[in-house]
């Protein structure tokens, strides 16, 4: 599991994808979410504006598992 550190209260799913090097630019987030399944705390979510907070666990099949840390 890869840890992604944030210094704010939350980041959006779109920001997370870029920070975790899953996508190259924020503009790719909408496309990526339409093509791949993303599970947040074991629930499928495709909202790029979804707020991720410390302790959230993100699973992206074929890309890995991530945890948000503060």
pTM: 0.91
Q: How confident is the model at residue 60 (pLDDT cuts 50, 70, 90)?
A: very high
CATH class of 2-68: alpha beta
The residue written with tokens 């209260």 in the block is 9
Name the H helices within the chain: 13-19, 29-35
pLDDT at position 26 is 84
Q: In this structure, what token pair is assigned to residue 12?
A: 């959006």
How far, in Å, CA of 66 to CA of 5, rounded? 10
pLDDT tens, 9-58? 999 999 999 999 999 998 899 999 999 999 999 999 999 999 999 999 99
How far, in Å, CA of 27 to CA of 57, rounded? 23
């Amino acid at each position: 599991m890869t840890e992604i550190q944030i210094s704010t209260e939350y980041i959006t799913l779109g920001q997370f994808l870029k920070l975790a090097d899953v996508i190259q630019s924020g503009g790719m987030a909408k496309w990526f979410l339409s093509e791949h399944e993303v599970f947040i705390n074991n629930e499928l979510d495709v909202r790029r504006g979804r707020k991720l907070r410390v302790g959230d666990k993100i699973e992206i099949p074929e890309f890995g598992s991530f945890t948000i840390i503060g």
